[in-house]
Amino acid sequence: MRSYSLLAPAKINLYLEILGDHVTGGDDSRPSGFHEMVMVLQSVSLSDRLHVRASGTDAIRVHCTHPQVPDDASNLAYRAAALMCKQFPDCFARYGGVDITIEKQIPVGAGLAGGSSNAAAVLVGLDLLWELGLTRDELQELGAVLGSDVPFCIAGGTALATGRGEQLDTLPALTNLSVVLAKYRSLSVSTAWAYTTYRQWFGDSYLRRGGDLEQRRQQVHASPMMAAIAQRDNSKIGQRLRNDLEKVVLPAHPQVLQLREAFQRFNPIGTMMSGSGPTVFALVESQAQAEALQDKVREAIANPDLELWIAKFNPSGIQIVK
Ligand code: ATP
């Protein structure tokens, strides 16, 4: 049986602005339950490794030893395989089901899109296994059915994401930055909780008129963060980091705020929570600086529950290993 191994990188948010409620298009436009976002997403080298193999049976099976990762139909990798079986019934009939093994390195429930990246890897892996020859756009369209971050995870690199996060514009690749990531092992934040709480607290200030939303999206295209990325000006990128979800996650989890402050004390280029947290990252310009910063933070917060990782900015998303 043929198999493929793939690397599925984590992502961080260099910018996350919530504009308002996302509405479905068309004449009967109504709230979709998602938010209308502007984000700058960046792949980093901290990656899960997935093995995708045609099983010859009619089952989809997920193997993962991580205690927080489900091995049933709720696993995003399983859902990606199920979607492919539904979309391509002839391939499913010919090749049978699929065995997916996930070697987890990306922390779970961390704001690093680990599950979304796993789903992206399964889409890419099955495209290869079934010799479908899907284009990147076609894979991303399938990914959008599974989750807002999945289309980005397929292509990776540096991208501006709008809509509910699935509409992507590629930005100039930022390859000369490293990142230190930190998370308390026992702390996870539910993405759904973070967005629901944000809506409760800040829903009054949401942009509601289509024209206002469009104007804000245009402003962001010409914003200082976009200019900093276009110029690959690392210190300006660091100054312009933004994450609206910090406004709900930091008050609820003071240890995340404390972690961010600990990073800040050692003057990285910039520091911010990623996605809905609770991972905090700090940007630096070299591996040596990353190692020094990691040591300092570990010394400043002598808590065995704190985990730290060093990663580089990644120019791409899912990569085939063999
Ligand atoms: P995002 O940044 O996209 O919100 P996250 O990094 O906060 O995602 P994930 O690690 O993707 O969160 O996992 C969130 C939840 O999804 C967890 O409760 C986990 O049990 C479940 N889950 C389902 N499939 C996976 C998977 N393949 N990998 C990790 N978690 C998964």
> What is the distance in A from the centroid of ligand 1 to the CA of 265?
30
Q: Is the CB of 23 under 6 A from ligand 1?
A: no
**Better pLDDT: 92 or 56:** 92
Q: What is the pLDDT at residue 26? A: 57
The CATH class given to the 3-172+316-320 domain equals: alpha beta
Atom of ligand 1 lying closest to residue 149 CA = 3
Q: Is the CB of 112 under 6 A from ligand 1?
A: yes
> What is the distance in A from the centroid of ligand 1 to the CA of 305?
20
Which residue's alpha carbon is nearest to atom 13 within ligand 1? 109
Burial label for 49, CB within 10 Å (0-12, 13-18, 19+), is middle
Residue with tokens 């200019």: 227
pLDDT band at 25 (very low <50, low <70, confident <90, very high): low
Give the residue-averaged pLDDT of 251-258: 96
Q: Which of 232, 230, 250, 228 is nearest to 240 (CA)?
A: 228
Q: Is the CB of 149 under 6 A from ligand 1?
A: yes
pLDDT band at 1 (very low <50, low <70, confident <90, very high): low
Residue 97 predicted with pLDDT over 80: yes
Q: What's the CATH code, domain 178-312?
A: 3.30.70.890
Q: Among 34, 43, 76, which is best to mutate for testing ligand 1, by the most ligand atoms less than 8 A from CB? A: 76
Q: Which of 170, 163, 166 is nearest to 119 (CA)?
A: 166
Q: Where are the domains of the chain?
A: 3-172+316-320, 178-312
Q: 179 Cβ partners below 8 Å, 6+ apart?
A: 12, 44, 281, 282, 283, 284, 290, 310, 311, 312, 313
Percentage of the chain modeled with pLDDT above 70: 98
Q: Is the CB of 114 under 6 A from ligand 1?
A: yes
Q: Count CA within 13 A, CB hemisphere, residue 233.
A: 12
**Better pLDDT: 169 or 166:** 169
> What is the distance in A from the centroid of ligand 1 to the CA of 70?
9
Q: Is the CB of 42 under 6 A from ligand 1?
A: no
254 backbone φψ class: left, alpha, beta (φ>0; ψ -120 to 50): alpha
pLDDT digits (tens, 9 = 90+) for 267-303: 999 999 999 999 999 999 999 999 999 999 999 999 9
Catalytic residues: 11, 149
> What is the distance in A from the centroid of ligand 1 to the CA of 105?
12
Distance CA 300, CA 63 (A): 37
> What is the distance in A from the centroid of ligand 1 to the CA of 14?
20
Q: Is the CB of 270 under 6 A from ligand 1?
A: no
Q: Is the CB of 13 under 6 A from ligand 1?
A: no
Residue 4 predicted with pLDDT over 60: yes
Residue with tokens 């990073």: 263
Q: 70 Cβ partners below 8 Å, 6+ apart?
A: 62
Helix (H/G/I), strand (E/B), else coil: 60: strand
pLDDT band at 69 (very low <50, low <70, confident <90, very high): very high
Q: What is the pLDDT at residue 218? A: 83
Residue 82 neighbours by CB distance under 10 Å: 17
Atom of ligand 1 lying closest to residue 274 CA = 2
> What is the distance in A from the centroid of ligand 1 to the CA of 218?
31
Give the residue-averaged pLDDT of 124-147: 96
Q: Is the CB of 161 under 6 A from ligand 1?
A: no
pLDDT digits (tens, 9 = 90+) for 214-233: 888 888 887 899 999 999 99
